[in-house]
Structure 1
């Protein structure tokens, strides 16, 4: 908190006004309110309009001109909705997004995993499976849920590493969104879900224990760079309830899956939440547990959520772990994080692509498989054209500097 003093002295009333406007930072000054509660859009005292969102790529030039602090308000928080398969996470997350003016972020799916968006936009790598020498190289939901033993489809291990990588990147961009717009986010089935899911796969013998330990190390190294969510809503449900919901929604790859033929896999997921994830999140975030089979009336839930105090400075004098990553009393801290998070080096440093992890042979392609992919792509690229980054001359260079 001491760092606020010199900033006020050097930048005067403008800076003080910006900081005072943010309830998330107001507790740094004893004269300000010590409360930061969610506020519904239907609240009789609505939140004031935010400053215009920042829409450029944040870089060393923009750090001199743009601050996230004036955009922050009570709803500038991260909410994650967790729970077993079939508990209604998406439905609840969408309702919360609408009620509190939060950005709803769709979960990552297999289409995002294997459909190219850069070199050959729209190209689906799963097409190459037809040329595969002996095994599935790029999994779909059908091939994933059809796997009974890891020997039948060993590259589901690669799929899980890749899925975690994409979800980690999605969560990081959600944090950047808050810095750029001040709007909070709500996410179902996010990066935290993969920790539990892979634990269940290990218990189901779909993840060898040695590879699971490598996955744990990969996760630990990546997660320490992210700021924990403010609120975790866990939809608790029995495996029998989840199995019934899976059958009710009648997706063929789930209904016919040998993994989901009984309650074992669902029990392992619940065990992972109870033993691993929720105790960890409870130290850094507010955790609200709801019965998925008997959810409270939504209006009552909104009232309860409005009672939570998400002030990051609330327990700082007690050295509490809650919201510790959000306790930034100086703009330099926000600038450092935004510069790193909005750069292309972020995932390389913190969460490298699994394909680069050569020390785990179980998630690597064989030599003949790599040859098949390279040969197929070489033939396909003649039908694609992508604008090179160096094009555009001086005008393009100036645009890339500021955008």
Structure 2
């Protein structure tokens, strides 16, 4: 059951970006409803009147008939807008609160301490009190950051944010109205660390701050950050994460049931243990974008799968060098050949081999994630491969019988894979490429958005992957495994069972001649396929390929 009150973390902006927030876009499929969506829906059922929590206590006796959750609706949320100084947080937060019908809490400051209930501002008495008891706020800090009172200022700012956050939670629980805050006590430590790095305060003060924080912070309901992706700048601003088990050597070893009893899969996972797929048509800059994304997120980058997976053998030999020695139907055929002759008889087989290559690479990516905990970034995936088949079919590069064989093969294999967490990409446009783009938009993106998060141009850190908790919700369903043993089963499948998964491609398609090689031609080629040539010795003992070598 999903929690009734959730906190959202909105738009982390690093100081290096130096940007302003100019507009506010409400994502309507996240359980939160913007003004336009609310006005288009029937009126919601009536809720109890807000409780006057400012002047009255909410007692145990009142809780028997005044139920808290009866006031909640889709927008009963706590939203925290984070960002550095002068990044436009106030304007953005006010816009967000107005559109969502929430209460806006301006950023906490020293007025909370210095302006008394009767309206008096304690700063007006600074000339009448001893030096160490004078007020000290942002203005003073900017003028003299090394002042003795700067340490107390930082702790008082944490206290102000803590108190304001309690007020925000009290407002939500007693009125049902969501709240939007600028910064929170959970992020306050970043300013302490910045002050300490500049030697504005001593280590003793830092230690006192963290003792105070440890004694108070767990009493609050915190922003929902646990399963969000964190970029390099955000990770470096946070305390070091707890140590994880060392990566398992899945390339050379099997992950067995016995090992699963003490080597738990989820113990290696963190916020960035995700599968991200960068999609897009040819020459849209996917490789550079995927490499930069992987570097920033601390993930492993898998370059786009190509025919090298099939043609370059473990000993380094490239089967394309033997094309002059093999029959016509068994020659290699890659992207270069397809660009030169897209109507060639082997083009059909080329497309199916490309699907096979992407499928095998995706298994490798899942094995890497499960055994190391490191997220992966791929360029294209087997889930989107059909857009190229459809483009080839639309240009009459292959027959309908081939298309039918492809989809039978896809249906027999695709459900064994866990769909990606996130699909992102960049779009270009220039008959074949236009059809690829049309297929991306009309079919693939609509289908994958049912199961994965879809990101086109947006802040990747804002996506909340933990919001999908219902059992039957299709989005990210592949990754909602309730027990550790379920994770272990998946890990064993992708670590040890790649050969079994690749054998699912062994469907006999005897009615499609483009996909059939005669026995004689196959025999003439076979001597070049298994990692050795006719000039090598010791052929009798070359009967096993390395664990992670794909067989054709």
TM-score norm. by structure 2 comes to 0.53
Rg larger in structure: 2
Alpha carbons 1:222, 1:351 under 8 Å: kept: no
TM-score norm. by structure 1 comes to 0.71
Alpha carbons 2:383, 2:414 under 8 Å: kept: no
Shift of 1:85: 0.4
Question: What are the Cα deviations for residues 51-106 of structure 1, in whole angstroms up to 9, with x where unaligned?
Answer: 31112421223122211111111101010000000100011111111111011112
Q: 1:229 & 1:104 partners in 2: Cα distance?
A: 14
Shift of 1:195: 1.6
Shift of 1:360: 3.9
Instruction: State the match for 1:226 in structure 2.
Output: 417
2:289 aligned with 1:83, yes or no? Answer: no
Tell me the SS of whatever aligns to 1:320: coil
Instruction: State the match for 2:435 in structure 1.
Output: 268
Shift of 1:37: 0.7
Q: 2:268 & 2:328 partners in 1: Cα distance?
A: 54
2:460 aligned with 1:305, yes or no? Answer: yes
Shift of 1:354: 5.5
Shift of 1:372: 2.8
Instruction: State the match for 2:178 in structure 1.
Output: none
Instruction: State the match for 2:332 in structure 1.
Output: 138
Instruction: State the match for 2:517 in structure 1.
Output: 365
Q: 1:129/1:71 Cα in 2 relative to 1: closer, same or farther (>3 Å)?
A: same
Instruction: State the match for 2:351 in structure 1.
Output: 160
Tell me the SS of whatever aligns to 1:352: helix
Counting helix residues as a fraction of each chain, which structure ranks higher?
Answer: 1
Q: 1:349/1:95 Cα in 2 relative to 1: closer, same or farther (>3 Å)?
A: closer
Higher RCO (CA < 8 A, seq sep 6+): 1
Shift of 1:329: 1.9
1:205-224 to 2 correspondences below 5 Å: 205-224=396-415
Pick aligned residue for 2:313 from 112, 116, 123: 116
Shift of 1:335: 1.2
Q: 2:312 & 2:503 partners in 1: Cα distance?
A: 20
Q: 2:527 & 2:503 partners in 1: Cα distance?
A: 28
Tell me the SS of whatever aligns to 2:489: helix
Question: What are the Cα deviations for residues 313-360 of structure 1, in whole angstroms up to 9, with x where unaligned?
Answer: x2333732110011112111011111222224x443465345865564
Q: 1:375/1:102 Cα in 2 relative to 1: closer, same or farther (>3 Å)?
A: closer
Shift of 1:128: 3.2
Equivalent pairs, count: 317
Q: 1:374/1:225 Cα in 2 relative to 1: closer, same or farther (>3 Å)?
A: closer
Q: 1:187/1:87 Cα in 2 relative to 1: closer, same or farther (>3 Å)?
A: same
1:273-292 to 2 correspondences below 5 Å: 273-290=440-457
Pick aligned residue for 1:103 from 292, 300, 303: 300
Q: 2:259 & 2:478 partners in 1: Cα distance?
A: 23
Shift of 1:233: 0.3
Tell me the SS of whatever aligns to 1:380: coil
1:349-388 to 2 correspondences below 5 Å: 349=501, 352-353=504-505, 358=510, 360-374=512-526, 380-385=533-538, 388=541
Q: 1:188 & 1:285 partners in 2: Cα distance?
A: 16
RMSD: 2.8
Instruction: State the match for 2:238 in structure 1.
Output: 45
Shift of 1:384: 4.9
2:487 aligned with 1:334, yes or no? Answer: yes
Q: 2:520 & 2:281 partners in 1: Cα distance?
A: 38
Q: 2:528 & 2:373 partners in 1: Cα distance?
A: 44
In structure 2, runs of 5+ residues without a counterpart are 2-220, 545-552
Q: 1:352 & 1:384 partners in 2: Cα distance?
A: 34
Instruction: State the match for 1:343 in structure 2.
Output: 496
